Amino acid sequence: MTQETAQERVADEAAIRALIERWSQAVRDQNRAGIRANHDSDILLFDVPPPFLSRGLEAYMATWETFFSWSERPVIFAFHDVKVTSGQDVAFATALGKCAGVGPSGAREPLEFRLTMGLRKIDGSWRILHEHHSLPAVD
């Protein structure tokens, strides 16, 4: 790898980390325009609550209404152990996340989950094409 390529990769990975932080802040702020930003119109989402599969930006955004109706206030939505691997025009990111909501009984429900994102650089900007939220299997 050339020094220029290594520098580009470092810059791309930093840009993707910043994108994830802006997105998670938009969720905490319930900023729907911010949540949409950087998502491709054909996004594919695999999610925890039904529907487990959503395709397209409007279907993706509808899942956030479900999340906000469950989420406690202020909204908790934060990530740690963010890892980014990028190539010239394709990247993926993984992270561990935390959120919390209110269950049917009114009790607080903290939730730890996993995030995987697939991204593509289109016209010089990173776009999220695939997003996957999952829970660890519980015995």
Give per-residue pLDDT as tens, 16-63. 999 999 999 999 999 999 999 999 999 999 999 999 999 999 999 999
32 within domain boundaries = yes
125 within domain boundaries = yes
81 within domain boundaries = yes
Give percent above pLDDT 90 in the chain.
92
Count: domains in the chain: 1
CA distance linking residue 30 with residue 105, whole number of Å: 24
Q: Looking at residues 62-80, what average pLDDT do you find?
A: 97
139 within domain boundaries = no
Give per-residue pLDDT as tens, 7-18. 999 999 999 999
CA distance linking residue 136 with residue 111, whole number of Å: 10
CA distance linking residue 73 with residue 93, whole number of Å: 27
Q: List the CATH number of the domain containing 24.
A: 3.10.450.50
Domain that holds residue 117: 3-134
**At residue 41, what is the residue type?**
S
Please report, for residues 4, 38, 50, 115, the alpha-carbon distance to residue 103 in angstroms, rounded to integers and kept in the order given.
51, 31, 16, 22
Give per-residue pLDDT as tens, 84-120. 999 999 999 999 999 999 999 999 999 999 999 999 9
Give per-residue pLDDT as tens, 111-128. 999 999 999 999 999 999
